[in-house]
Amino acid sequence: MKVIVPDIHLTIAACSTALAVIMCVVILLSSANDGARRERWWLFFPFGIAVPAGVLLTWPELLGKPFWGLQLGWFALTLVYGGVWNAARVSLGRAPRLLAVLLPCSAALLFNATVGADTAWPEMRMLPRIALFGLFNALAAREFWRLPEHQPPSAMTLRWILTAFAVIDLGRTPLAPLLPGPLGVDPTQLWSLALFNFALVLEGLLLGVFLTALRREQVAARHLRLAMVDPLTGVGNRRALDAAIAQLEEAPPTKDARPVAIAMFDIDCFKLVNDELGHPFGDLVIAGAAHVAQELFGPGQVYRTGGEEFAVVFRAATMSDALRRADRLRKAFADRSHREGSTVRRCTISVGVALTGPDRGPRALLACADEALYTAKRGGRNRTIIAGSLLPVAITPVLRDYPRAVRRVSLGD
């Protein structure tokens, strides 16, 4: 019986190509229902191009002329690395750079088919390819290094994976004349072919796994943000406030940190505004209150706790500092005109302020500020009250701009 001994070189290359096909299928199946078609196709792109690249490098005679089969196979492989860079960009919400990939890859193909075709200088063919591999890996790594802190775990892992492979590729570029193919220009050896394919498959598997994981982490983070944002105003909701309070309680005390203050405020006579001017106008007033608070305290510090009630978490040096800033909010809102068509009105808010102390932590602060708020409401509205005090800050008269029904109730309470 005749035993057929397989060509080990051919087997290694064919297995790498088969793994690229498998990764294409896995990526399509894993992201089939996530609704992100653009991101899915850019993630698919490098693995999809790797299939014809592997076929042409394994069987270059398929095109009739092995020389062109090899040239186009290497061209496709450089596109694979460029596709990785673009997949990284798109996964991070940035625009792809397709032309920036096609131009250098096409230039390398043209160079290899002309000047590099001279067999007296075989390293001339290999150097541009290896340099492009390292360049595109470095560019992909740079996309992740540009990210701010506190990113998903997969983004941090991809940063180091791409950096490591960029260093390897750029590091072996000057060594290409000394290494066997496909690592360099000398005749191919079994170990060099196996190492090249191992590195190629390893990078592909790692990128496929972690780019897919990054996509899922981004979707989960987006859902979490939506669950913590009030859709009407764009500020945090009660769940986000609870999370912020919990974070403050768990944070270790620092010597130079200023005390935490909480201001709770509520739109005065809001039900009457809604009844007389309608819910759309009421929504406008609520959104206006959130906008004024964000202008004064900055994003991420304002929370809508329900209905027309809000909370602001900020740091203040002293109670008088907290009171001054909270009352500035009251005055700024009182000066704001709310407009819808020909309807123009002004409204007021009542504010309760509390500051952390030796026996009052961030969570207890909420109850204290809330109590101060209702003291301000019972005391006549449009005022700022410090927790534990019955002394309001001076009232700003804006009742002349209220609807008649609102004015009557405000003067009567």
- Active-site positions read 308
Answer yes or no: are the C-beta atoms of 108 and 75 closer than 8 Å.
yes
Answer yes or no: are the C-beta atoms of 197 and 205 closer than 8 Å.
no
Question: Which residue, 323, 308, 333, 296, is CA-closest to 388?
Answer: 323
Question: Which residue, 107, 109, 104, 101, is CA-closest to 82?
Answer: 101
DSSP state of 400: G
Q: Is 335 helix (H, G, I), strand (E, B) or coil?
A: coil
DSSP state of 257: P
Answer yes or no: are the C-beta atoms of 83 and 46 closer than 8 Å.
yes
Distance CA 396, CA 310 (A): 20
Answer yes or no: are the C-beta atoms of 313 and 245 closer than 8 Å.
yes
Question: Which residue, 262, 258, 278, is CA-closest to 270?
Answer: 278
Answer yes or no: are the C-beta atoms of 17 and 51 closer than 8 Å.
yes
The torsion region of residue 326 among left (phi > 0), alpha (psi -120 to 50) and beta comes to: alpha
Answer yes or no: are the C-beta atoms of 158 and 207 closer than 8 Å.
yes
And the tokens for 66?
């092995």
Distance CA 293, CA 299 (A): 9
Question: Which residue, 345, 200, 210, is CA-closest to 267?
Answer: 345
Distance CA 49, CA 39 (A): 16
Task: Map tokens 């960009």 to a residue.
Answer: 89
CA distances from 157 to 145, 164, 381 (A): 11, 11, 54
Instruction: Collect all residues with Cβ–Cβ distance below 8 Å to 73 and sequence separation of at least 6.
Output: 52, 53, 54, 55, 56, 57, 60
